Amino acid sequence: MEDCLFCKIASGAGDADVVHVSDNVVAFRDINPQAPVHILLIPKEHIESARSVKDRHGDLLVELFATAAHLAKANDVDRSGWRVVTNVGPDAGQSVHHLHFHLLGGRPMKWPPG
């Protein structure tokens, strides 16, 4: 999508601290980190949110979670713990309408989230 910020980053045109790229997935550091480790994982394909995920995205979702686990290890939060969050819609605070998973770690986190 032409005016999608994360599509731009996925295509290499955006300004982002990219930490991982594959044929289908890009991961980059969040511009406004909420934890010492705060990485966003996105599909290159434009999917609006988890609401728009289809059966055909199964392999893509496996890759996104496997990449999160890999990056947690690479960023030394594998043992201390980490969280994956995806916000859907206004009550959850979704601000970018391209599916993304927040990988958060490096500090103790509360539950329930705010």
Nearer to ligand DGP, 40 or 72 (CB): 40
Q: Look up residue 55 and give its two tokens.
A: 């059966």
- Buried b / exposed e over 61-81, threshold 16 CB at 10 Å, is eebbeebbeebbeebebeeee
Q: Is 38 a catalytic residue?
A: no
- Contact status: 16 vs ligand DGP (CB under 6 A): yes
Only one of the segments 24-32, 60-68, 74-82, 103-111 lies at the binding site for ligand DGP (rule: CB under 6 A); that segment is: 24-32
Angstrom distance (rounded) from CA 103 to CA 33:
10
Catalytic sites, residue numbers: 100
Binding site for ligand DGP (CB under 6 A): 5, 16, 28-32, 40, 87, 93-96
